[in-house]
Amino acid sequence: MHIRLLAVGERQPPWVNDAFGIYSGRFPREWKFRLDTIATVRRKKNDKSLDAVQTEGERILAKLNPTEQVVLLDERGEQLTSKALAQNLLAWQSDGRDLCFVIGGPDGVSELCRQRADIIWSLSRLTLPHGMARVLFSEQLYRAWSLQTGHPYHRA
C-alpha cells in the first residue's frame, strides 16, 4: 500500500518543511510515502467568491486516482483520538487500496472534493495554518503507526 499527502500550497516556511520531514522520514518504507502539492490559486483582495476553491478542487480531483481511498482533512470532519486513528489506519491498510490524505487550500475544498472523500477527518476544531496542519498530520500518522507496532514513541 502506498500513502501520500496531496496538499494545496507549494511553498511553506522552512520550519514546516523541517518538522514535516522529521516525522514523514520516520514512516515505514513499505508505505512509499510521498507529498504531492498543488499551487494555491491566487485570490484577489476581499474576494469572497468560491472561484479559487472550485479551481483548487478541480486540480485536487485531477490528481486523485479513482481507486485510491481518500481521507480529507477538514475542521468539520470527525475528530479522532490517537488510538482511534491507529485503529482506522489499520482498517485503511487492510482495505488494500492506496491511501491519499488531502489538505485543501486556505478557504477549504469544493463540495465535489468533499463528496469524493471516503472519510473526513478533523485534526482539530481550531482553524490551523496550512503548514501546521501538515506537521500535525505527519506527527499523528507517525504516532498511529507507533501504536500499531508497539513502538515506544506513544507513551500514554
Q: For 45-75, what is each residue's pLDDT tens digit?
A: 777 678 889 999 999 999 999 999 999 999 8
- On whether the CB atoms of residues 3 and 98 are closer than 8 A, the answer is yes
- On whether the CB atoms of residues 141 and 26 are closer than 8 A, the answer is no
Angle 82-95/130-149 helices, nearest 10 degrees?
80
CA 54 – CA 41 distance, rounded (Å): 10
Q: Which residue has cell 479522532?
A: 80
pLDDT interval class at 154 (50, 70, 90): low
Write out the three cell numbers for 152.
515506544
Choose among 50, 71, 75: nearest CA to 127.
75
What domains lie within the chain, and their CATH numbers? 3-39+52-149 (3.40.1280.10)
- On whether the CB atoms of residues 6 and 116 are closer than 8 A, the answer is no
pLDDT, tens digit, 9 for 90 and up, residues 76-133: 899 999 999 999 999 998 888 999 999 999 888 999 999 999 999 999 988 888 899 9
- Predicted local confidence at residue 48, as pLDDT: 66
